[in-house]
Copies of this chain bind each other. A is one copy, B any other.
Amino acid sequence: MKAHRLADIVAALGGELHGDGELAISRIASLDQADGRSISFLAHSRHAPKLARSAAGCVIAAVASLPAVRARGAAAVVTDDPYLYYARLTQWWRRQEGGAAAGIHPSAVIDAGAQVDPLATVGALAVVGAGARIGPHAVIGAHCGVGAQARIGAHTCLAERVTFGARCTIGERGIVHAGAVIGADGFGFAPAQGRWEKIEQLGAVRIGDDVEIGANTCIDRGALDDTVIEDGVKLDNLIQVAHNVRIGAHTAIAALAGIAGSTRIGRHCTIGGAAGVVGHIEIVDHVHIDAGTIVSRSIRQAGRYSGVFPFDDNASWEKNAATLRQLHALRERLRALEKKP
């Protein structure tokens, strides 16, 4: 990677520079991995021992840590929230790399009725359907499919090989990673004499601004109304969002989680990896679900919720799990003992 002057970084991102602004920074690195041409960050004072051992040329730090940084001979960028500064630095760093030039790759298959903004980019072998609209500075990666009447907002990027279904929409500044499927049919059937009769899924998926969707994640279209992902939601990889779910703004969900049909998740929630939420329930704002937890009924109160079997060495688990099958009977026996005079 090419190097950047430390002074240029501070000019772009702010913060108070202590040390040599001419320092050439060739990479961003953790305190452990940093060398004299690296910029690193001290996100929390508990990492101070790492600072003591770090060879970083510059450290982003809170003012309280400034003396310790300078004592190491490193430059410092002082800021209130070093971790947030680090996040913005990664964004700035990425922007310096530049992006693909706008335009449509000659191998892409664009329906004559599609509207692709002249400032948008469409990659190799992408397919854009009739009536689809691609906004300015949007990027449609190689092998992506954008369905008929779909809408991709300005500055939104479909990484590669994303399926974005007919009539589905996404707002501005979104990112959808490879393999994600937006707008496959929801899983809806009516039982009919031992068989399943398909309920055609006539709704769509409506995604707000600043949403990020992970690789191979699926968001199904609604049965009649739309599945809705509000602004600022972040979904990790391999997540299932079933039909008619609504996910509130700025909620983040980790990989392999599943949200069953028609459930509403509040705003500013977090859901851990491999957690599951059953269908037709409601979770209020500011709820945090631990990894692996199955949420089987509505949650009406903000807070943290958990529900995994504590793992153990196999022999201990075997004994406790076997006993668990008799737990109710144990309670009855305890009750009987308590009643003894």
A260-B273, A276-B256 as given contacts; A127 in contact with B145, CB under 8 Å: no
The reply to whether B303 and A314 contact each other, CB–CB distance below 8 Å, is yes
The reply to whether B127 and A142 contact each other, CB–CB distance below 8 Å, is yes
What chain B residues lie within 8 Å of A218 (beta carbons)? 179, 214-216, 237-238, 255
CA distance A181 to B254 in the complex (A): 17
CA distance A107 to B124 in the complex (A): 11
The reply to whether A163 and B161 contact each other, CB–CB distance below 8 Å, is yes
The reply to whether B310 and A195 contact each other, CB–CB distance below 8 Å, is no
What chain B residues lie within 8 Å of A192 (beta carbons)? 81, 84, 87
In the complex this chain forms, how many copies of it are found?
Answer: 3
Q: Number of A residues whose C-beta is below 8 Å from B?
A: 120
A2 at interface, CB cutoff 8 A: no
A146-175 CB mask vs B (1 if < 8 Å, else 0) is: 000000000000011101010000000001
Chain A residues close to B by CB (< 8 Å): 27-30, 33, 81, 83-84, 86-88, 90-91, 93-94, 105, 107, 109, 123-125, 127, 142-143, 145, 159-161, 163, 165, 175, 177-179, 181, 184-185, 187-192, 194-202, 210, 212, 214-216, 218, 220, 223-225, 232, 234, 236-238, 240, 242, 250, 252, 254-256, 258, 260, 268, 273-274, 276, 278, 289-296, 303-314, 316-328, 330-331, 333-334, 337-338
